[in-house]
Structure 1
Amino acid sequence: MNLVADLLYLLACLTMVTCDRVYVHPFTLFCFNESDCDKLEKLVQEGKTIVPVSIESQTTPEYEAGMNENKLEAPSLSTWGKEERSYLSDLVYVLGMRFYSVLQKAQRGQNVLLSPTSLYSSLVSFYLGASNQTALDLQGLLGFVPPSGNPDCTSTAVGRNFLSSLRTIERLVKSGDEELLFSNTLSLFSAPGVPLFQLFMEHLLPSADAFYARAVDFANPGEAAKQINAFVEAKSEGQSKGLLADINPSTQLLLAEDVRLAVNVKQAFLLKEPQEFFVDSNTKVLVPMLSIMGTFKYKTDASGTFSVVEIPISKTALLVLLQPINGSDLESVESKLTWQSSAWLQWLSPREIKLVLPALTLEDSSDLQELLADMELPELLGKGADFSKISNASLTVGKVINKAFFKLASDGTDQPEDPAAQKEDGAYLDVTLNKPFLFAVFEKQSRAMLFLGRVVNPLHED
């Protein structure tokens, strides 16, 4: 780093009240004192480890109990400026879109659902446990470049800040909103007898509502998959089923993150009769439809091929819907969108709209290993990767599962006799989503993208 850059960075640090706050200027997200590095290095050298208990154990281990019983107060972003909020949100958006592009091609003609915040969080978790070139490679994929310094300290300090920030964004989603149910569960499964560094485990604890770390014998992959599926289903009280279909017997570490959002939208009513939805030019299905009226943000693109509408679906979450118009189809619209730019989400204007869209229940799973392989990055979490800050044993990372669930329903509001009775003809813009469309869910304050999906057939949950 040259002298001018050094001075700019130093000035950025000095202008902040403190460098250990979670919500700081983008430059100071990476700002930490050498004494902090010394403390972290000492903890790493101490090398305290935890050997996870068997997945068959009926008792809750001590290392899980503290987090899962801790009830945190509702957070605030009041001290986090607009620039700082958009910084992490932009990183999540860009990586989420890269993953969506992979799934878009792999699941052509099918529904797609993923959680960009969850996928980003999973990668940050591995970044926390990475050293040397693996840490640098993950850092590049995550999209940020920290200042020069001890790279091992950087991955720990920066990774910890990013996980904490992502966690706060997710906690904001469900703060004080009875119409919305949001949860994030993180499960870590290791081979029997594999020690995991206590420091790594402690850094992961705040990253989810519930955290589990258990030992599984992967040598019998069929039995291991059954045990993991049964464990996750039991912990989710039956909500999350069929997490895994198969496991590589060489696996020594497997991570699964399950993110779920269900919203009953206020003032949205269920139409009395199912409505036609055109899956393609030859196929139509009858689906339950919701109707909601109000002043929402809206635009059509310059070429007139798609429209975008943004509506609040709760006090803390926004739903953005993109649909092809004027004879365009979704695949052609997707091919024209620049996924590295969020321009399609910008420059919307208020309009009075009567919106009709399908009631949705979608669930989908992604394996980060497969996504990275499709992006020609199979070695990033592969056998040669250096995760010496996760364990002092040589680790082979197996599947990294990110499961996403999204449900959109009415809050039970009765359908009015004449919803537009108090409006003159033409006062409302009619927007009806009755053919394949894209949607995204954002946390309201930070504009972080929680979910991104494509709906081809609303009757198919995955």
Structure 2
Amino acid sequence: MHFQYIMLCLTAFICLSTCNRVYVHPFNLLAYNKSECEQIQSQDQSAEKIFFPINIESKTTEERNVKLPAYLEASHLETSENYLMTLIEAIGIRAVTEWWKLHKTDTILIPYTEFYRIMVSFYLGAAGNTSVNLQKFLGFQDPSGSTGCTSTINGLKVISKLQKIHKFQFSKDSNIDILRTVCMFVSPNVPLSEKVVHGLNPISDNLYVRSIDFKDSKAVKLINEFLDSKLPGNTKPELTSIDVTANFMYISHVQFKGKVAKSLLIPSPQPFWIEPNKVVLVPMISVTGIFQFTEDNITNKLIIKIPLSDKDFLLLVQPINGNTLENIESSMERITYGNWLNQLLDKYRYIKLSLPKLKIERTYNIQDLLYTLNVSQLLGKTADFSELSKTNINVGQVINIVDFELKESGEDPNGDNKIHETKEEPMELKLNRPFILAICDGTKKSMLLLGRVVHPTNTI
């Protein structure tokens, strides 16, 4: 009887504790709360600090760099991590597939996490209907259906969260190196909000803000020279023109360098069929190991997962049996990536793989991408960015540059004990035709970059 009484009390306590829990939707962790709204309403907007960017020809090396307020780095943001990653993937897949449709025979590599960062950057400076529309585009919907300040996303919180995701997204080892650089150009005598520009610091490793007269005949030359001096890598983008009617320009550069774990360079170039009747000789990497692999003869594609580091990996998808990349791409949606991973569960094969050494550079005008998504008004001539500047901001080109390199690690795979214990001969697999490539984080199983490789060394 005493035991039954104890169990009854314990059950009642558990039920009471469960009932007292209040579910907080991740949206609310990224939105303004009541006290923040009250603080915003009480602030003197005329007292907001502004600054005028230094001229592009200035020789100063000083850059503005301030830390975000401490509350933006609070641990409660952890609960919204998966929520934000879901939004990024949904928009990213949509952007990539639309761009594929426009460029059916070209190599396409879009770091869609960077695309999302760019749009969040503009959201930070947006006001009025532009702010509302950008919030919807970014995927944020207030589950309560309420309106007002507390139904508005705090862009600084989102940026802080994006930075936190980036910090833990990839293993910190010598096989993966990512560097982000953002350059913003604005017309002379256009003041910018210190709060907005400082809030953008966490989205990049380097942030440069410069003024330039877009109507100056030397403007294109000056911008190219500036990019050449600030962007990493040997090959730099070469702008041929700019929008002279604009007074604001945004350039994002992502450099990704990866090494295939325990791989060696094949001594001589190997054939790669960029078209059924067109072959080129390209450097290729050889890697041998026990990999997750499936050859699906129903959907006519093969999928293989190759490690970049202890956790992070490449996901490679190639059509077989007469199938085409276009067929695979036309059926892609947000759940496709998860389905590919599920197809690999418990499917391992001892494989000797040959895949191209990749050197790919791509430049995208985000304005063109938004046009294909039927949302060009988000950064259009009538967009309201009065949070960024009290002077009317007219956005010109918004450019994303991808500098991608994948090469061998130079490590001998024979040191792998699992391979050493395997007595069977490996299956030989050559990735010598166009394929889909995804760079994936092993912790969250999220993608950083997704694309189509038609020419392995295409730097045009």
TM over 0.5: same fold?
A: yes
Give the equivalent residue in structure 1 for 2:35: 35
Distance in structure 2 (CA, Å) of the matches to 1:225 and 1:149:
46
Please give the per-residue CA displacement for 1:71-93, whole angstroms capped at 9, x wherever unaligned.
xxxx9999946xx4432222112
Contact 1:308 1:323 in 2 (8 A): yes
Contact 1:299 1:309 in 2 (8 A): yes
Give the equivalent residue in structure 1 for 2:299: 304
Amino acid across the alignment from 1:59: T
Q: TM-score, normalised by structure 1?
A: 0.84
Amino acid across the alignment from 2:299: G
The equivalent position to 1:226 in structure 2, one of 181, 198, 221, is 221
Gaps of 5+ in 2: 1-18
From the superposition, tell whether residues 88 and 300 of structure 1 become closer, same or farther in structure 2 (CA, over 3 Å).
farther
From the superposition, tell whether residues 277 and 124 of structure 1 become closer, same or farther in structure 2 (CA, over 3 Å).
same
The equivalent position to 1:242 in structure 2, one of 237, 243, 265, is 237
From the superposition, tell whether residues 456 and 412 of structure 1 become closer, same or farther in structure 2 (CA, over 3 Å).
same
Instruction: Find out whether 1:352 has 2:352 as its counterpart.
Output: no
Give the equivalent residue in structure 2 for 1:59: 60
Instruction: Find out whether 1:195 has 2:191 as its counterpart.
Output: yes
The alignment partner of 2:140 has SS state of coil
**Alignment RMSD (CA, Å):** 3.0
Measured after TM superposition, the shift of residue 113 of structure 1 is 1.1
From the superposition, tell whether residues 315 and 151 of structure 1 become closer, same or farther in structure 2 (CA, over 3 Å).
farther
Measured after TM superposition, the shift of residue 298 of structure 1 is 2.9
Give the equivalent residue in structure 2 for 1:286: 281
Measured after TM superposition, the shift of residue 173 of structure 1 is 4.6
Contact 1:183 1:259 in 2 (8 A): yes
The equivalent position to 2:327 in structure 1, one of 332, 335, 338, is 332
Give the equivalent residue in structure 2 for 1:406: 404
Measured after TM superposition, the shift of residue 100 of structure 1 is 1.3
From the superposition, tell whether residues 249 and 154 of structure 1 become closer, same or farther in structure 2 (CA, over 3 Å).
farther
From the superposition, tell whether residues 148 and 421 of structure 1 become closer, same or farther in structure 2 (CA, over 3 Å).
closer
Give the equivalent residue in structure 1 for 2:8: none
Measured after TM superposition, the shift of residue 429 of structure 1 is 4.2
Distance in structure 2 (CA, Å) of the matches to 1:58 and 1:152:
42
The alignment partner of 1:296 has SS state of strand
Please give the per-residue CA displacement for 1:312-369, whole angstroms capped at 9, x wherever unaligned.
2024532111110122121222223335643443312241342221111111111111
Give the equivalent residue in structure 2 for 1:16: none
Measured after TM superposition, the shift of residue 372 of structure 1 is 1.0
Task: Answer with 359-368 or 159-168: which moved more.
Answer: 159-168
Distance in structure 1 (CA, Å) of the matches to 2:150 and 2:187:
27
Contact 1:192 1:217 in 2 (8 A): yes
Amino acid across the alignment from 2:165: I
Give the equivalent residue in structure 2 for 1:378: 376
Gaps of 5+ in 1: 1-7, 14-24
Give the equivalent residue in structure 1 for 2:434: 436
Mapping for residues 409-428 of structure 1, pairs under 5 Å: 409-414=407-412, 423-425=422-424, 428=426
From the superposition, tell whether residues 297 and 410 of structure 1 become closer, same or farther in structure 2 (CA, over 3 Å).
same
The alignment partner of 1:12 has SS state of coil
Instruction: Find out whether 1:11 has 2:6 as its counterpart.
Output: no
Give the equivalent residue in structure 1 for 2:6: none
Contact 1:322 1:439 in 2 (8 A): yes
Mapping for residues 257-272 of structure 1, pairs under 5 Å: 257-272=252-267
Distance in structure 1 (CA, Å) of the matches to 2:191 and 2:145:
31
Contact 2:30 2:153 in 1 (8 A): no
Contact 1:132 1:152 in 2 (8 A): no
Contact 1:269 1:291 in 2 (8 A): yes
The alignment partner of 1:346 has SS state of helix
From the superposition, tell whether residues 401 and 337 of structure 1 become closer, same or farther in structure 2 (CA, over 3 Å).
same
Please give the per-residue CA displacement for 1:251-291, whole angstroms capped at 9, x wherever unaligned.
11111111111012331111223222111211112222112
Task: Answer with 209-218 or 273-282: which moved more.
Answer: 273-282
Q: TM-score, normalised by structure 2?
A: 0.85
Task: Answer with 277-286 or 289-298: which moved more.
Answer: 289-298
The alignment partner of 2:23 has SS state of helix
Contact 1:366 1:403 in 2 (8 A): yes
Give the equivalent residue in structure 1 for 2:166: 170
Distance in structure 2 (CA, Å) of the matches to 1:185 and 1:94:
24
Give the equivalent residue in structure 2 for 1:449: 447
The equivalent position to 1:93 in structure 2, one of 89, 109, 118, is 89
Measured after TM superposition, the shift of residue 420 of structure 1 is 7.3
Distance in structure 2 (CA, Å) of the matches to 1:325 and 1:77:
46
Instruction: Find out whether 1:105 has 2:101 as its counterpart.
Output: yes
Contact 1:353 1:431 in 2 (8 A): no
From the superposition, tell whether residues 134 and 405 of structure 1 become closer, same or farther in structure 2 (CA, over 3 Å).
same
Amino acid across the alignment from 1:12: Y
The alignment partner of 1:295 has SS state of strand
Please give the per-residue CA displacement for 1:292-322, whole angstroms capped at 9, x wherever unaligned.
2223333344723112222220245321111
Q: Which has the greater radius of gyration?
A: 2
Distance in structure 2 (CA, Å) of the matches to 1:313 and 1:238:
21
Amino acid across the alignment from 2:208: Y
Contact 2:170 2:442 in 1 (8 A): no
The alignment partner of 2:55 has SS state of coil
Amino acid across the alignment from 1:352: R
Instruction: Find out whether 1:395 has 2:393 as its counterpart.
Output: yes
Q: Count residues in correspondence.
A: 431
Distance in structure 2 (CA, Å) of the matches to 1:239 and 1:453:
23
